[in-house]
Structures are given as structure tokens and as C-alpha cells.
Structure 1
Amino acid sequence: MTPTSTTTAQETQESAEPARTRPRVEGDREREILEAALVTLADVGYDRLNFDAVAAAAKASKATLYRRWPGKVDLVIDALQLMIGVEADQYPDTGSLRGDLIAQACAKGGIGEDLPLQVFAALLGSLHRDPELRDAIMTRLMAPKMAVTLQTFRAAQLRGEIGKGADLELLARLLPAITIHEAMLSGTHPTAERLISLVDSVVLPACAATLQRD
């Protein structure tokens, strides 16, 4: 067997081996690092975020971060999943679209809290400049979140609160789009009263209008 064929066989064997999983920072320590990443991101923005700043904020070594997260995008996505992967991502099933939307928006991690809005504001400009960040957020973060929201709107459609031919994705984006836009302009997070007002004055009338076209 020639040296060339030996090398090829070795490479084939190595490529067939399962990929090694990344070592994990376990439990509370991982949460502390991710929470530090969120606060740092909100403070300095995505472009200026680096492992040195997060390590200092979390009182961890930079080597610890690199062993767990290969790059900044991975760290940020995991931090965002921690931030919104709570009650706001669950289907409340209150029996009405109004009740479901208010329960989701006002839940821990919902659009009515300060930190989520500050974090997404810090990411906004970078989403247009960094395709890797944008793709990761859309596929690993927003797609699962939208799936939960669409479940709420599909249930409302089955109850007859939304027309059969309605654009559910468009309706599902109304409340977060308006809320984030207002927050960016005012620099403050929406109160529960404002969220309820938007549900009653914008989202529900838009849903009711789809019934008139059936």
C-alpha cells in the first residue's frame, strides 16, 4: 500500500468518527456566564462584545468560555435562548386569543421586560452587517419562538376568532413589531397597560377584520 493510500484510509476513518461534543460549563456557572453575556451585550453592543469583557463580568477565565463556546455567535445565541426560553415561550391556553397574547407578552422574558428590549436593541445594527449572526438568530432563536406564537394564532383561528384565510404570520408579528419600534424610539420598555392596550386596539381588531373577508 502506498503512503498516499494509507493517509487516505486514515482520513476516512477519522471522518467517520462521531464529532466530539463541546465541553459544558455546568448548571449555575453556565447561567452566570450567560447572564453576564446578556448584561455586557446590552451595555456595549454586539460589535464591541468580546470574551474578555464577558469573562471579566462573570469572573471567569477566558479559556473557560472558549472551551464551551467556539465563538461569539454561539455564546450570544445560548444567552438569548436563556433569556427568552421561559414563560414567554410557552403556550398559555387561556381559552381566548386576548388572554393568550397578554399572558405571553407579560410573562417573564416577554416583550414587556427591560433586558430583552435592551439586548435586541444592541443587536439591531449588527444583524444587517453580520450574516452569521443574522442566520443563527433566525434559525435557532426566532423560528422556534414564532412557532409557539403561531400555535396561539392557529388555536384562535380554530375557535373562530380569526378568518380561515388570514395571514397568521403577519398577525403574529404585529404586537412585537409595534412594541419594539416604540421602545427604540422612547428608550423605555412598554408597561403591562400599554401591551394590553395594543392587544385590544391593534391586534384583536386586525384579527376580527379577517372574519369580514370570509
Structure 2
Amino acid sequence: MEAGPKLDPEREQAILGATLDLLAETGYEALRLDAVASRAKASKATLYRHWPGKAELVVDAIQCYEQADLAKNTDTGSLRGDLLATLSGIRDLLTGDLGQLMAGLLAALQKDADLAAAVRSSMVEDKQQINRQMLDRAIARGELPADTDPNVVPEVAPAVLFMRIFVNGESVDDDFLAHLTDDILIPLMVRSR
């Protein structure tokens, strides 16, 4: 998303960290780029050279924070193992500091078309590609039929986890992830054709 010359990694981390800090303090709607620049000891012009707007800056900050969790494409050798690894990453993300930020962004996604577009293009599409690769491996191993609906995992798993964590206030332990995998996701994928 950067438009200008590459930022020094330390400067970029300072800006992205300031963005996350202010996002946690003020929420998305009240987040201002001049406040980010001030907190990061950078100029507002520097921010605009590298990010076209607030939405792109926020998405980059969140991606930087979460890159180790969900961006990896874990191949455990089985669909069940891949699902458990993916669900564990989602759980860790949602129950960590970033989960609170993302929960707060949900309302902003409905009101801010730029943020919604940036999230869809930068975050959601990446996760869909990883999901597709996981399904392709399972199909190649004969664990799933070739016409398995690729939307089952990305539509069902985050919704169940979000509901359990943020709405019901319940924990998501390894036993629950096994239940979600064995009793809900795999049966839905097998029957989705």
C-alpha cells in the first residue's frame, strides 16, 4: 500500500504502533492521522506518502500485528490438523489485544466504505486464499469431495468464535476447537456439495 519510498523499518513500526495505540484509545472513527503522526514523531506528510488514508494505515497496522498468527498457511498433513491450527490462530487473535481492536472496527466497517474496502482487499482476500489452499490439499488427499463449498470455514468458524468470545463471554479451549472442527466444520464441508 505504500506510495512513496520505502520507510525505515523502525520508523514504520513506530507509525504502525502509534496507530494501534490510538485505535485502542479512541476507536476508528475518532482516529486522526495528525495524532498518529504526533505520537510516532513523524510528519503528517510522511503518513500520506505511504498510506493514502486512514483505512489503509489501520489495515497495515493490524496486518503487521497479526501477521504471525493467521497469515501462515499451516500444512499439518490432514484437514483436521489444518483446521485446528487455523482455529487456534483465530482464537489467539480474537482473545488477544488485537481482538478487542477488531471487535471495535466492526461498527466502523458498516459506516466507512474506505475501511470496508481496505479490509476486504487486504485482509479477507488473503485469508480466503489460505482457506482455498487448505481445501485443495484436503481434496487432493481424498478427505473432501472436489465440489466442497469453499465458504464453509470462512463463514462459519469466525462467526462461531466471535459469538462465543465477544457475545457469550465464554472461553474457547482446545476441546471447544475440537468440537467445532469434528462436529460442525468437517461435517458441513462433507455435506456442502
Between 113-122 and 148-157, the greater mean CA deviation after superposition: 113-122
Equivalent residue for 1:72? Answer: 54
Matched-pair contact (CA < 8 Å) for 1:157–1:163: yes
Is the contact made by 2:83 and 2:181 (CA closer than 8 Å) also made in structure 1?
Answer: yes
Which residue of structure 1 aligns with residue 150 of structure 2? 168
User: Once the two structures are superposed, what CA deviation does each residue of 1:37-87 show, in whole Å capped at 9, x if it has no partner?
Assistant: 123223322111112332354354544434433321121121122133324
**Pairing 1:35–2:17 present:** yes
Q: 1:114 to 1:206 in 2, by over 3 A?
A: same
Q: Is 1:22 matched with 2:4? A: yes
Give runs of aligned pairs for residues 8-157 of structure 1, distance below 5 A: 21-107=3-89, 111-157=93-139
| Aligned mates of 2:152, 2:87 — CA distance in 1 | 17
What amino acid sits opposite 2:184 in the alignment? V
Give the residue type in structure 2 aligned to 1:181.
Answer: M
CA–CA distance in 1 between the matches of 2:179 and 2:91?
19
Partner of 1:177: 159
Question: More displaced, 140-149 or 110-119?
Answer: 110-119
CA distance in 2, matches of 1:119, 1:55: 20
State the TM-score, normalized to the length of structure 2. 0.82
CA contact (8 A) 1:89 1:145 kept: yes
- Contact 1:37/1:79 (8 A) holds in 2: yes
Secondary structure of residue in 1 paired with 2:73: coil
Preserved CA contact (<8 Å) 1:153 1:172: no
Contact 2:94 2:162 in 1 (8 A): no
Give distance in 2, aligned partners of 1:208 and 1:157.
11
Asked if the contact 2:84/2:178 (under 8 Å) is kept, the reply is yes
Larger Rg: 1
Name the aligned partner's letter for residue 191 of structure 2.
Answer: A
Q: Which residue of 2 aligns with 1:200?
A: 182
Give distance in 2, aligned partners of 1:172 and 1:135: 18
CA contact (8 A) 1:88 1:109 kept: no
5+ residue gaps in structure 1?
A: 1-19
Instruction: Provide Cα deviations, 1:132-171, integer angstroms capped at 9, x if missing partner.
Output: 2111211122112211111112211222222232211233
Q: Deviations over 1:62-121 (max 9, x none)?
A: 444344333211211211221333242222111111111222232499545423321221
Q: Is the 8 A contact 1:111 1:176 kept in 2?
A: no
Q: How many residues align?
A: 192
Q: For residues 128 and 26 of structure 1, do their structure 2 counterparts lie closer, same or farther at Cα, with a shift above 3 Å needed?
A: same
RMSD: 2.8
